Structure 1
Amino acid sequence: MTAPSASRCIAILGGSFDPVHNGHVALAQYFVDLLHPDELHVLPAGNPWQKHGLQASAADRVEMVRRAFDNQKVPVVIDEQEILRSTATFTIDTLRALREELGPDVSIVFLMGADQLQHLNTWQGWRQLFDYAHLCAASRPGFGMGAAHVPQEVAQEFASRNATPQQIASHSHGLTCLASNLAVDISSTAIRASLHNGERPDVLIPARVLDYIEQHHLYQS
């Protein structure tokens, strides 16, 4: 079944953003340049089921995201639906809610890094994600996207749905794109450790985000 043609394209970037860093921004900018979406929606996680112990509060993470993405080429929407959800956060629930909100004729493109792609088959209802959105993944040093690194069932699904950026932007859901030339390797875990040790990782975090972290004494011992 062919997906409906799309009147608009919305790129979706989710994450814990604890804290948001230049790798997140680079991933978004890469796909904004590739897909030319009408909007970029950034979704800070509320209670992600595969991660535990978020250190910054929801309000702090939202403000850091707002500061990090304040200079994009397209309008940015900070979507707080996962934060407002009291139950565990599953991407399938978020994409289902977004499709209901945006309607059937909008291209929804969910963006992820290679580290997420490598364990996509552990996500709740991962095959159903394609019923609501396209999935685009970008490389990250140390996290390969080839057959040796990605579960076979995920690799096969992505290969069978592979499409051009133009096809993704002009259809509503169900297609994939792998970007192998984004070489940014930044870890939120390493940044938190650096801040905890009193270091200032100013090359890894947007300046306004680092200012906020320091002003509010986040990630300190």
Structure 2
Amino acid sequence: MAGVTRHCIAILGGSFDPVHSGHVALARHFVDLLKPDELRILPAGNPWQKHGLEATGAQRVAMLEQAFHQQAVPVVIDQRELQVDESTFTINTLRALRAELGPEVSLVFLMGADQLQHLDTWQGWRQLFDYAHVCAAARPGFALDGPKVPVEVRQVFEQRADTPAHIRSTPQGKTFLAPNLAVDISATEIRAALRQGEQPDTLVPHAVLDYIQQHHLYKS
């Protein structure tokens, strides 16, 4: 119906072990583009492609609260994946969110463009678009037709490409690649730096770094 403003929720998932400035920058970038009504953060419980998370679920939630406590939109830290013991899959989480929030809300799943390089290994990756839009933020120079992006992923992403405005006003099924987000931060590198006694204060929000130090996380 013309004139109706659709409720929009941007979703950022990840291990957040630890949450770093790249996560915050990606979220802020899409908040600016999409003007969502809510930013929902989804810390992974037992992601099937990653093993051996070092911080506990409660510690990762506490770090997320520190990192995202001042945002332009309301922030919800959704802990559903922390409450199950078995492996968690994004497709199942998005299906559950759609069932809870109804068919009309715009759900926008956010990721870094590096995740597009292995999106075809995610369980039910083509079905993601049945429940949400998928938006990716790319570093300068990144290209969908580059050698690291699988051909099937590139084709789907190009076929479904749309504008942030239209993504905000439709429930699911579209894609958007935001270019030139100059953030290149690795949680693995941060953990390594912390073990060596370094203070990666340009890579991690100050409040998160304080929490890590106070709780003696990521030590040798």
TM-score by length of 2: 0.96
State the partner residue of 1:134: 133
SS of corresponding position for 2:23: helix
Measured after TM superposition, the shift of residue 143 of structure 1 is 6.2
Q: 1:101 is matched with which residue?
A: 100
Change (3 A) 1:194 1:148: same
* Structure 2 partner of 1:193: 192
In 2, Cα distance between equivalents of 1:57 and 1:6: 39
Contact 1:40 1:77 in 2 (8 A): yes
Q: Is the 8 A contact 1:13 1:41 kept in 2?
A: yes
For residues 106-161 of structure 1, give each alpha carbon's deviation from its aligned partner in whole angstroms, at most 9, with x where no partner exists. 00000000111110000000000000000001113696533422100000001110
Q: Any idea what SS the aligned residue of 2:218 has?
A: coil
Which runs of no fewer than 5 residues in structure 2 stay unpaired? none
Matching residue of 1:58: 57
Q: Distance in 1 between matches of 2:83 and 2:218?
A: 23
User: What SS does the corresponding residue of 2:136 show, helix, strand or coil?
Assistant: strand
| SS of aligned partner of 1:119 | helix
CA distance in 2, matches of 1:195, 1:75: 31
Match of 2:175, as an amino acid?
A: T
Look up the match of 1:39: 38
Aligned residues: 217
Opposite residue 126 of structure 1, the aligned amino acid is W
Q: How far does the alpha carbon of each residue in 1:143-190 deviate from its partner, in whole angstroms, 9 at most, with x for none?
A: 653342210000000111000001000000000000111010010000
In structure 2, what is the equivalent of residue 85 of structure 1? Answer: 84
Whether 1:123 aligns to 2:122 is: yes
Whole-angstrom CA distance in 2 between matches of 1:97 and 1:6: 23
Q: Is contact 2:141–2:180 with CA below 8 Å preserved after alignment?
A: no
**Using a 3 Å threshold, how does the CA distance of structure 1 residues 206 and 10 change in structure 2: closer, same or farther?**
same
In the other structure, the counterpart of 1:151 is 150
Contact 1:115 1:143 in 2 (8 A): no
Letter in 2 for 1:164: T
SS in 1 for 2:76: strand
Is residue 6–residue 105 contact of structure 1 (8 Å, CA) maintained in 2? no
**Which residue in 1 is equivalent to 2:71?**
72
Verify the 8 A CA contact 2:17 2:60 in the aligned structure 1: yes
For residues 209 and 141 of structure 1, what CA distance do their matches in structure 2 show? Answer: 27
CA distance in 1, matches of 2:104, 2:54: 38
**Alignment partners' CA distance in 2, 1:54 and 1:142:** 31
SS of the aligned residue for 2:202 comes to: coil
1:215 maps to which residue?
A: 214
2:45 is matched by which residue type in structure 1? G
Checking the alignment, whether the CA contact within 8 Å between 1:20 and 1:61 is kept in structure 2 is yes
Q: Which runs of 5+ in 1 are unaligned?
A: none
User: Could you say if the C-alpha distance between residues 115 and 28 of structure 1 is closer, same or farther in structure 2, counting changes exceeding 3 Å?
Assistant: same
Residues 42, 77 of structure 2: 8 Å contact kept? yes
The list of structure 1 runs, each at least 4 consecutive aligned residues, that deviate by more than 4 angstroms after superposition, is: 141-144
Distance 2:118 2:89 in 1: 14
- SS across alignment from 1:10: strand
Q: Deviations over 1:45-65 (max 9, x none)?
A: 000000010000110000001
Q: Percent identity?
A: 68
Does the CA contact (< 8 Å) of 2:142 and 2:179 recur in 1? Answer: no
Aligned equivalents of 1:139, 1:106: Cα separation in 2 = 26
TM-score normalised per structure 1: 0.95
